Amino acid sequence: MVSRRIGIRLARFGCANRPFYHIVVAPKSRRHQDPPFEQLGTYDVMPNEHKERLVSLNLERIRYWIGIGAHISDPVAELLGLAGFLPIHPLSYMKAWRNRRKANAQAGENQTLSSEISSTREEGLS
């Protein structure tokens, strides 16, 4: 059993305006740029031309590290939940709820604007 001081987390790579993450196993006390024990996958946060964010995971090794007691950070747990490896993380539900509420608010604003425009056109024609 590994102590809880080992974690599966994201290590940032890439440029200033082009972030790219490696999913790694590393001691929690180290900085993100220090060499990890093992790389378990990658995560590209910038959407490609198809508006997809690409993730690659080595699920066998992730299962191994979880089995020996490695702690999973919240962003990695969220990715694993979206991939179907773990239950969906509560943060995923909260983000979806906020996005849905924002989309509904924008749709309501667009509907009121279009009704106002159509009413002013009707007044101008009469």
CATH code, domain carrying 52:
3.30.1320.10
Q: How many domains does the chain have?
A: 1
Residue 1 covered by a domain: no
CB 60 within 8 A of CB 35: no
Q: What is the pLDDT of residues 19-32, one digit of tens each?
A: 999 999 988 877 66
Print the domain residue range for 67. 6-122
Q: Of 54, 33, 52, nearest to 44 (Cα)?
A: 54
Mean pLDDT estimate for the chain: 84
Residue 53 covered by a domain: yes
Q: Of 92, 18, 12, nearest to 48 (Cα)?
A: 18
Q: What is the pLDDT of residues 105-124, one digit of tens each?
A: 888 777 776 666 666 666 65
Distances (CA, A) of 66 to 34, 63, 70, 108, 117: 21, 5, 5, 45, 58
